[in-house]
Amino acid sequence: MSKKLSEGNASSKKTEKKKKKKKKKTVYGTYSEDRKTPKYVSSKNYKDGLTDEEANERIENLQVNIEGRVESKFTKNFKLVFKVITKNTFTFFNILYIIVLILLLVANAWNKQAGVNDSVKQLLNLGSDKTFEFGLATFSFVIIVSINLVIGIIQETKSKIAINKLKLLTNPKVTLVRNGEKVVMKETDVVLDDIVYLTPGIQIVADMVLLEGEVEVNESQLTGESVPIKKKVNDVIYSGSFMVSGTSYAKVIHVAKMNEINKLTSQAKKYTEPNSQILSGLRKLLVVMGFIIVITSVAMYAWSWNWKGFRDLLYGGDLSNPDLIIPLKANYIVAIKPITAAIIGMIPAGLYLLTSVALSVGVFRLSKHNTLVQDNYCIEMLARVNVLCLDKTGTITNGKMTVIKHEIINEPDKTNIEDVISSMNAALQETNATAQALANYYGIKSVLTPTMVVPFSSDRKYSAVSFGETNTYIIGAPEFVLKSGFEKYADKISDYANKGLRVLCLAHSNLAVKDGKVQRVPKLIALILIEDQIREEAKDTIEYFKESGVEVKVISGDNPVTVSEVARRVGIENASKCVSLDGMSEDEVIEAASKFTVFGRVKPEQKKLLVQALKKQGKTVAMTGDGVNDIPALKEADCSIAMASGNDSVKGVAQLVLVDSNFASMPKVVAEGRRVINNVQQTAMLYLVKTLFMTFLAILTASGFFYLLGQKDADIPLYQRFLRNATFPFSGSNQLLILEMFAIGIPSMFLALQANNTPVKGNFMRNALKSAIPGAAGIVGAIVFTYWFSREYGFEVPEVKTVVAMTATLTLLVVMCRACLPFNKKKVVLCILMWVVSIACILTSMKGKTIGIPKTKIKFDFEYESLKWDTVRIVDKATGEVNPVNVNITEQGYILLDGETILVDGKEYKIERASNATATWLAFSMVVVSITLMLGVELLIKNLELKQERMKHKEFEKIKEKKKNPQVLKIKY
């Protein structure tokens, strides 16, 4: 690529004036009157730009690069909070909660109607002196969900506000021409017809037309192709692309919604969404649990309809009869309470809240470490990183390059090196770190008059300026400038590189640049030695990653020997394993990815290829960068990290931005990511245990398993057993209250905020399920055993449900203690406190009391039924045998009293109160059974994992044996 400039002599000026008279006026784009179709018109001198009045006029007409009117800080924050509230409130599971609440409110309203409550008491066998009410505990899930919702909204709002503040520091800046002067402004300050000064690395924030010369842009975010594209005068440069090389002026032709990039999907405009295992796992869980909840709830209600006598009442009676409505409502009330308990128990909403809160807190904490998080879930990818790819400049080194000296090899003709490089600096107008180092040492003076310019690019690795037809100077990487002549000076260059110095060469050609390329192998004039200072904290940072098990690789465009020496100084392991990727094929690059630590002379597409190769090997790769040549690799990496001091285009695609551009912040960032993900994974098991065992119980109930298990009389037809089934092991959400509050809710929030710097391994959902399945299996097994035991020893439904509730609560407390491993003082206090409070609540319920808030009417009834209500047994008066026949007392409609005698099938039976102690003893016995089953299932899972590992190892050994005659990789040092 080249750019024609004035030669500066009198004759050429006259010729140029003649040409200008013949040429058409330079035109460039603006809006037509309908502001939809751009048209091209001539204009005044573009280097004057817009005046302040013209800019303000366009802002008033909404011709500004921001959608809608400029909003106040209050309006922006209000919209942000409203969006967070809407997002957190209207979720699938919250909608289920609302449905459950409506069902319970209807049941509660009906229960207060005359006659209905008496019918309910008759169905539940309460006795005339007892009452059935929907206490506050029945609706306790609303309080818990509301508190969780508020916590989630507050944490997410705090994190978003903190992130928005950081974004103000990292938002793209644009150099505009206003009132004849260059001014740096925000992208949202750009208006229609603004003149923009373009330099390498800047993000194009609006569609614009090039006004002079030629530039190269990267349109990968628009087209997917990362090959630089040349743009000439009157070519449109689209928003979303970024400058690769060249400097010029352009005029804005589209703003805001009219920009080309807004026609694409929103994902094309920003960073790549992280490949989060948590996000993927939660989405799959949502689909599966949503399906199961709907199916089992409908099935359970269908069984309840028949068992409670709905079918006989509905189809055998006259619906116009008011006396029929009361029992129908009573049956609905009795059926709906355990069904809603099943739905609430199956919903894993707490897991979603825990994840959201933990990530939001993590984002907020990272903002305190000057880290901008563009997506919450990229914290997970950061925590899972086991390979970190660094660019030397700006990460290991501070990016402030200094020219040490130059060594003259061949004196230039008719001038000196200082004047040549100073003139090149003036013509190139580069802004990168190398150009600044050359400018500081040699100055910027137009001693020589340039005619053609080739800006620096990462692909070429050099820049060139022609000062006439036979006088071209090239400066850049020796291998790329000298080409075949490089070998002659390789040893000398290598000696400097071994000292950690960056080596540039200045060369001369007698031919002018043509089509952006040097026409002949140039003659070496001098070697320029540049030092890039190592950051003071770099060594400690690298040591942290080494101790954390993270492999560090350095990818750079510099000489691999130079980079290797710098890497060795900061303590990177295997820094001596360096290779140049210059001239390598794709296959060779892929093979080199795992064999080497330091990669030099790397082109942008090769950086991307290295990241792809590492990912294919099962690595989780993080990539840091600050230049446009890093963008392809950043977009490919699992976690992309940019420096705020880098180009705007880089910050736009990165998932994390280090606002202080300090590589030393990385350990804190990684540690925070590990803390969040480890704790979420560890506490997820608590929610999944409850979800799994409640789901299993709902399926067993809906299928009629518990009724079949409870039947002793084989003469009852199978279809009748199914039709009469509706006994869900929990009578209502009240019995889940202790479990959800003290075994899951409070502990999980506490554990989610604990320090945890352990490397994250394995699949999130697989690990969580592997930990949760033993606990769920233990609880379900104990409940099944409880039903069998109650059948053999004559326990009634209230006793069985009490034992089930106590077993589940106490077993989950054991699971909670296991989630606290390894213990520390805080975790020990937590476990003791949760056990004491839970048992206190159970003992209170045993004495027939409720727990309430002093001086209020708010009371919690945990419904440990057999411990509070008078339960009954049917005893044969003649033989003393307990429950000798299958008699359904509820369907007979008896209001039973202690000592009362009833007549069934011609025989007399005596009614006796059940012993409270029996249920308590059975509950603690079932906890032992549950823990035993839990340990057994856990042992089984571990054995299965060991078998899988052995099989994988055998397969790996077979593959190694089959590999013969490996290809030899040719390496350039």
Tens digit of each residue's pLDDT (9 = 90 or more) over 819-830: 898 888 999 999
The pLDDT value given to residue 876: 65
Lowest mean pLDDT among 2-16, 60-74, 314-328, 390-404: 2-16
pLDDT at 720: 41
Determine which helix (DSSP H) or strand (DSSP E) holds 622, and give its type and residue range. Answer: strand 621-625
Given this model, what pLDDT does residue 883 score?
57
Q: What is the pLDDT of residue 472?
A: 92
pLDDT digits (tens, 9 = 90+) for 668-715: 888 888 898 888 888 888 999 999 999 998 888 877 777 666 555 545
863 and 739 within one domain: yes
Structural domain contains residue 143 = yes
- Classify strands 215-218 and 371-373 as parallel, antiparallel or unpaired: unpaired
For the sheet with 173-178, list strands across it: 181-186, 173-178, 195-198, 248-252, 208-210, 236-237
CB 456 within 8 A of CB 476: yes
Instruction: Confirm if 728 and 701 have CB atoms less than 8 A apart.
Output: yes
Looking at residue 245, which CATH number applies to its domain? 2.70.150.10
Let me know whether 712 and 839 are in one domain.
yes
Q: What is the per-residue DSSP string for 436-472?
A: HHHHHHH-----S--SEEE---TTT-EEEEESSTT-E
Residues 731 and 850 placed together within one structural domain of the fold: yes
Give the pLDDT score at 948: 83
* 503 and 635 in a common domain: no
Contact between residue 167 and residue 642 where contact means Cβ atoms under 8 Å apart: no
Last residue of a domain, one of 269, 289, 312: 269
Domain contains 962: no
Q: 664, exposed or middle or buried, with CB in 10 Å at 0-12, 13-18, 19+?
A: middle
Indicate the residue type of 778.
G
Report the CATH number that the domain containing residue 773 is assigned in CATH: 1.20.1110
* 3-state class (DSSP) for residue 399: strand
Residue 860 in this model has a pLDDT that exceeds 60:
no
Please report, in angstroms and rounded to a whole number, the separation of the first and last CA atoms in the chain: 30
Which comes out higher in pLDDT, residue 968 or 89? 89
Residues 6+ apart with CB under 8 A from 795: 789, 803, 914, 918, 919, 922
The CATH number that applies at residue 653 is 3.40.50.1000
Q: For residue 708, what pLDDT is reported? A: 66
The pLDDT value recorded for residue 905 is 62
For the ranges 636-645, 749-758, 791-800, 821-830, which has the lowest average pLDDT?
791-800
Give the start-end residues of each E strand in 486-558.
502-509, 523-534, 551-555
Where helices occur in 847-915 by DSSP H, the ranges are 865-868, 889-892
| Closest C-alpha to 378, from 777, 669, 743 | 669
Same domain, yes or no: 757 and 704: yes
Domain match, 156 and 238 both = no
CA distance 473 to 414: 13
967 is a domain residue: no
The string of pLDDT tens digits covering residues 335-368 is 787 788 888 888 887 888 888 888 888 888 888 8
| The domain boundary residue, chosen from 250, 269, 288 | 269
pLDDT tens sequence across 483-518:
888 999 999 999 998 888 999 999 999 888 877 778
pLDDT tens digits for 249-307? 999 999 888 887 766 544 334 445 567 888 888 888 888 888 888 888 888 877 666 55
Residue 647 one-letter amino acid:
N
Residue 820's contacts (CB-CB under 8 Å, 6 or more residues apart) are 747, 751, 827, 828, 830, 831
User: Could you tell me if residue 838 is inside a domain?
Assistant: yes
Average pLDDT of span 853-876 = 49
Q: How many CB atoms lie within 10 A of CB 103?
A: 17
Q: Are residues 566 and 556 in the same domain?
A: yes
CATH code at position 464: 3.40.1110.10
Are residue 688 and residue 813 in the same domain, yes or no?
Answer: yes
Co-location of 625 and 571 in the same domain: yes
Position 65 in a domain: yes
Q: pTM of the full predicted structure?
A: 0.70
Range of the domain at 146: 91-161+276-359+673-871+914-926
DSSP collapsed to 3 states, 189-252? HCECCCEEEECCCCECCCCEEECCCCEEEECHHHHCCCCCEEECCCCEECCCCEEEECCEEEEE
CB 356 within 8 A of CB 156: yes
For 781-831, what is each residue's pLDDT tens digit? 988 888 787 766 666 666 677 778 888 888 899 999 988 988 889 999 999
34 assigned to some structural domain: yes
Co-location of 106 and 59 in the same domain: no
Residue 57 has pLDDT above 60, yes or no: yes
Is the same domain home to 201 and 319? Answer: no
H/E stretch holding 623 reads strand 621-625
Query: What domain count does the chain have?
Result: 4
* Mean pLDDT across the chain: 78
889 within domain boundaries: no
Q: Are residues 264 and 283 in the same domain?
A: no
Q: Which residue has the higher pLDDT, 550 or 26?
A: 550
Element (H, E) at 387: strand 387-390
